[in-house]
Amino acid sequence: MRRILRRLYWVLGLVVFLCGCANPGTDAETSETELEPAKGANAEAGEKPKVYLTFDDGPCESTAQILDILKEYQVPAAFFVIAREEEELLPLYQRIVEEGHVLANHTASHVYEHVYADFDSLKEEIEELESYVEQVSGYAPEKIFRFPGGSTRGEKNLGSGVTEKLISWGYRVIDWNCSGDDAIRKGVTAQEIYESTIKTAQGKDPVIILLHSASYAPQTVNALPSILSYFQENGYVFGSLTDDDAPENWWLGSH
């Protein structure tokens, strides 16, 4: 019964997100006028600025391509995953871990009505995702959590103490301060994703990038090489959310 309900929730979530892939495009081109790299506290101290790459809502059909690109550029990432049951997607949970990336928790269904019904429902969603991913991949997700819609969505539905509740359950809560806006609407181009990522990274150190590994963000994979090249060419260091110096908790309401 739980699996049937989860399938129903997932279908509802896809309808809400206007699911549907656009035609693949080409890699985003670098803008004619390059934006200046961010100047944060680390840069001012003579240290290289840090950037953390995160992908929400996967795995999906393009996740394998994303992993191929990350391997080519030797960049780690965190994947905030949900429970996907399509047979062809199941090996991707294992591949994410075995290629050095972080599996993190984004709830089982990602459907706001169920996730945010109450604290018991939220905890059930988190624990169900953990159990499911370990069952299909052999790896338990890290105790790193991202609210569907971000912590502001969690606070809107469950109150201002919801982030502290997650911390009390033993989770690190990670939002973002930089976004490619790759899922903001249907038809976003790779160039728009690239430009939004670079624009919203300005003046921030560390930079925590939000992108999506989902069928409704088909151009993310085409924008990714240009995004990685920009940060590498401008002296940023890509970090992992499991590094000792990674952000402990990072939510939008406080930053």
Residue 114: CATH number of its domain: 3.20.20.370
Residue 38 lies in a domain: no
* DSSP secondary structure letter of residue 49: P
pLDDT one-digit tens code per residue, 93-133: 999 999 999 999 999 999 999 999 999 999 999 999 999 99
Between CA 39 and CA 67 the distance in angstroms is 29
Quickly count: other Cβ atoms within 10 Å of residue 5's Cβ.
13
* Residue span of the structural domain in which 131 resides: 2-18+45-250
pLDDT one-digit tens code per residue, 2-54: 454 455 554 445 444 344 333 344 456 654 435 455 455 455 556 899 999 99
Please count the structural domains in the chain: 1
Residue 187 lies in a domain: yes
**Dihedral angle over CA of 198, 201, 202, 203, nearest 10:** -160
Between CA 81 and CA 132 the distance in angstroms is 11
Residue 68 lies in a domain: yes
Residue 159 lies in a domain: yes
Residue 185 lies in a domain: yes
